[in-house]
Chain A
Amino acid sequence: MSAPPAQRADAPQTPDKPQAPDKPPTWRRVAAIVVFAALAAVPWLGSDVLVQFGINALLLAVLAQAWNVIGGYAGYASFGNSVFYGLGAYGVGIAMVQWHLPFAVGLALGAAIAVVFALTLGWAVLRLRGHYFAIATLGVAQVMAAIVSNVELAGRNVGLVLPPLNDDRLFYWLALALLAAATLSVAWLTRSRFGFGLIAIRENEEGAAVMGVHTTLYKALAFAIAAFFSALAGGIHAYWITFLDPESAFDISLNVRMIIMAVFGGPGTVLGPIVGALSLSAISELLSSEVTNIAGLFFGVVVVAAVVLMPRGLADAVRGVRLHGWGYFARNVKAHRL
């Protein structure tokens, strides 16, 4: 059986059209730059509330994009990236609170720990297929939360309190810069031999191995890249809210959010996770201003509806509806029902 979530995402070449060039069409690049500029302008133009919403949404987008590398491109659906997020957070926390090191060092520390953890864990866990891999990562996520709450250095259950830095704008731009870095990395991926190899692994791992792809190494690297960006996001978030405790740092519900955002927007695409993260965050925020719990409920409903009606993400749905009308959704259902 070939490797898991074979989400049919955009391959380097879109098969329905004649040979597409390696570089994305110019209009898409221009649009991306415009959007990026608009996002960068928010702290000057928007309210404080908007900036805070923005920080959360941008960091979630980073998580979704990081997941995209291991889940969307390599096809290994990790349900445990929250661990890397938590490690990044605690890297900053411990470095700043216990050892009085600057923030940048804390970030680097958190990222380094996360990458090492990813490589170690990956060695053990990336040999598992499909749902076993998903469950293993879920199990690890549970273990980490439980372990950290017992470690003295991490402040045990009580957590750590970081020195405050009241500059939301700075955090906003940090988050935006991180998202840009993550996205550019993914864009590079789609044009590189490495990324091609990851996609081959996703589509047919044994076939890829026999054609010369070093599957073990590539999967581990993908996992490490995901860990790297997730950890940085965790570190930034920790310093921003100045408080860290195991339950919120290793929050398991982060996993469902980052996955649904990546999948909703379009896994295995460069901009999909961003679209998914920003749009779902926005809608969730609008709803939660009405009734607090509805936001969470909303996510659940979106997940269920999206999986049934548009399993290939928003980008594919938009294209599909344009080509085939509303029948697109019915076709998806018909193709997958018992």
Chain B
Amino acid sequence: MDLLAQVVANGVLLGGLYAVMALGLALVWGVLNIVNLAHGAFIMLGGYAAWHLYRLAGIDPFAGLPIVAIVMFAAGYAIQRGLLNLVVRAPMFNTLLITFGLEVVFTYCAQLAFSADFRTINPPYAGSNVALGPVTLPVARLAAFAVALALTVGMWLFLLHTRLGRAIRATAQNLVAARLYGVAPRHLYAVTFGLGVALAGMSGALYGTVSQVNPYIGATLTAKSFAISIIGGLDSPLGVIVGGLFLGIVESLTTLYVGPTYADVASFGILVLVLIVRPSGLLGRTA
């Protein structure tokens, strides 16, 4: 029983991290209708950014989150404004393809710049644990989970209660309506994408503290973010949290009871099943 509790706890911690990973993707997808296949690559780059901050300047990965956020936001803004805005009105397939291309570019650039070695961010507290009842929680993972949750809730509040947040949500409905908030569409699109990339980058930094970063993690993480967004349902901000937790727990349980190599089978299998049975997700409104 204790083992089960531990496994579920691990799953929850993982799930929180997954949720914030998927959040950026769901935001960009839901608002801009841009399916960003390079999302995982941004996570990867965020991980490398945090690793370098730690390695070169000794900045704790959690303390360095704001820096990563700003850098990634700027990058995302520039990419949307300078590149993606150029294909926004083309058929959907074009944005799929162009972000696919970006993913390839980023992966190879990372490989050239950082080599293919695995990197982990190991702050001094990385090895210590906290006991919570019957379960043992690694400090780093717990911290990552807490930050992830804070970011998710913060994003949610931002979208609901600030003028810019509401303008962003209005864009999802109607570009003209968004203009009524007094924000130019090009800027709005770029800000939204920037936010999505910033979230991805931050989740990458968090990921670097609990797992390994290398240039190739992008593709799988993109696919998982899709899984979460679809399972949870794009319409609902709560959906991403539910989806993330769901996936984290499923992977954790699968790893224990079936085998570690089956974890991915489980997550993607569920993705496909959800798409077939209920494309609007667990919490989304049925079309």
Instruction: Indicate if the CB atoms of A308 and B109 lie closer than 8 Å.
Output: no
Residue-wise interface mask of B (84-96) relative to A, using a CB-CB cutoff of 8 A (1 in contact, 0 not): 0111111111101
Which residues, 238 to 267 on A, are CB-close (under 8 Å) to B?
A: 252-253, 256, 259-260, 263
Instruction: Indicate if the CB atoms of B226 and A138 lie closer than 8 Å.
Output: yes
Q: B75 at the A/B interface (Cβ < 8 Å)?
A: no
Instruction: Indicate if the CB atoms of B261 and A308 lie closer than 8 Å.
Output: no
Which residue of chain A has its CB nearest to the CB of B272?
A139
Residues of B within 8 A of A303 (CB): 97-98, 100-101, 104
**Chain A nearest CB: distance from B200 CB in Å?**
17
Q: Contacting A307 at CB < 8 Å: which of B87, B89, B189?
A: B87
Tally the A-B contacts, defined by beta carbons under 8 Å.
154
Q: Contacting B92 at CB < 8 Å: which of A131, A293, A304?
A: A131
**Chain A nearest CB: distance from B141 CB in Å?**
24
- Selected interface stretch from A3-11, A205-213, A275-283: A3-11
- Selected interface stretch from A36-44, A101-109, A143-151: A143-151
**Chain A nearest CB: distance from B192 CB in Å?**
12
Which residue of chain A has its CB nearest to the CB of B29?
A131
- Selected interface stretch from B1-9, B66-74, B123-131, B263-271: B263-271
Residues of B within 8 A of A253 (CB): 104
Q: Beyond A131-B92, A147-B265, A307-B94, is A136–B276 a contact (Cβ under 8 Å)?
A: yes
Which residues, 48 to 100 on B, are CB-close (under 8 Å) to A?
A: 83, 85-94, 96-98, 100
**Chain A nearest CB: distance from B27 CB in Å?**
16
Q: B160 at the A/B interface (Cβ < 8 Å)?
A: no
On chain B, the number of residues with a Cβ less than 8 Å from chain A's Cβ atoms is 48
Q: A180 at the A/B interface (Cβ < 8 Å)?
A: no
Instruction: Indicate if the CB atoms of A77 and B93 lie closer than 8 Å.
Output: yes
Given known contacts A131-B92, A293-B111, A300-B108, what 14 new A-B pairs fall within 8 Å (CB)?
A132-B275, A135-B230, A135-B271, A138-B223, A139-B227, A139-B272, A147-B265, A259-B97, A294-B108, A300-B103, A302-B101, A303-B104, A304-B83, A308-B83
On chain A, the number of residues with a Cβ less than 8 Å from chain B's Cβ atoms is 49
Q: Beyond A260-B101, A300-B101, is A311–B264 a contact (Cβ under 8 Å)?
A: no
Q: A297 at the A/B interface (Cβ < 8 Å)?
A: yes
Q: B156 at the A/B interface (Cβ < 8 Å)?
A: no
Q: Contacting A4 at CB < 8 Å: which of B93, B101, B230, B262?
A: B93
Instruction: Indicate if the CB atoms of A150 and B262 lie closer than 8 Å.
Output: yes
Q: What is the predominant secondary structure among interface residues of chain B facing chain A?
A: helix
Instruction: Indicate if the CB atoms of B90 and A336 lie closer than 8 Å.
Output: yes
- Selected interface stretch from A122-130, A161-169, A225-233: A122-130
Q: Contacting B91 at CB < 8 Å: which of A7, A79, A124, A143?
A: A7
Q: Contacting A135 at CB < 8 Å: which of B35, B93, B265?
A: B35
Residues of A within 8 A of B154 (CB): none
Q: B182 at the A/B interface (Cβ < 8 Å)?
A: no
Instruction: Indicate if the CB atoms of A150 and B259 lie closer than 8 Å.
Output: yes
Q: A299 at the A/B interface (Cβ < 8 Å)?
A: yes
**Chain B nearest CB: distance from A40 CB in Å?**
33
Q: Beyond A307-B97, A307-B98, is A338–B88 a contact (Cβ under 8 Å)?
A: yes
Please name 5 pairs of A and B residues whose Cβ atoms are closer than 8 Å in the assembled complex, sorted by A: A5-B91, A5-B94, A128-B276, A335-B89, A338-B185
Distance of A183 Cα from B91 Cα, bound (Å): 26
Which residue of chain B has its CB nearest to the CB of A255?
B100
Q: B186 at the A/B interface (Cβ < 8 Å)?
A: yes
Residues of A within 8 A of B86 (CB): 308, 333, 336-338
Q: Contacting B220 at CB < 8 Å: which of A142, A149, A301?
A: A142
**Chain B nearest CB: distance from A337 CB in Å?**
5
Distance of A262 Cα from B282 Cα, bound (Å): 36
Task: Name, among A138, A140, A311, the residue most crowded by chain B CB atoms within 10 Å (CB to CB).
Answer: A138
Q: A134 at the A/B interface (Cβ < 8 Å)?
A: yes
Instruction: Indicate if the CB atoms of A304 and B275 lie closer than 8 Å.
Output: no
Which residues, 100 to 129 on B, are CB-close (under 8 Å) to A?
A: 100-109, 111-112
Q: B23 at the A/B interface (Cβ < 8 Å)?
A: no
Q: Beyond A300-B101, A338-B189, is A5–B92 a contact (Cβ under 8 Å)?
A: yes
Instruction: Indicate if the CB atoms of A142 and B102 lie closer than 8 Å.
Output: no
Q: B279 at the A/B interface (Cβ < 8 Å)?
A: yes
Q: Contacting A297 at CB < 8 Å: which of B87, B97, B108, B219?
A: B108
Q: A24 at the A/B interface (Cβ < 8 Å)?
A: no
Which residue of chain A has its CB nearest to the CB of B85?
A338
Residue-wise interface mask of B (225-236) relative to A, using a CB-CB cutoff of 8 A (1 in contact, 0 not): 011001000000
Distance of A265 Cα from B159 Cα, bound (Å): 42
Q: Beyond A6-B91, A131-B92, A146-B264, is A304–B101 a contact (Cβ under 8 Å)?
A: yes
Residues of B within 8 A of A79 (CB): 96
Residues of B within 8 A of A304 (CB): 83, 98, 101-102, 105
**Chain A nearest CB: distance from B79 CB in Å?**
10
Instruction: Indicate if the CB atoms of B88 and A336 lie closer than 8 Å.
Output: yes
Q: A296 at the A/B interface (Cβ < 8 Å)?
A: yes
Which residue of chain B has its CB nearest to the CB of A130?
B92
Distance of A296 Cα from B185 Cα, bound (Å): 34
Which residue of chain A has its CB nearest to the CB of B261?
A150
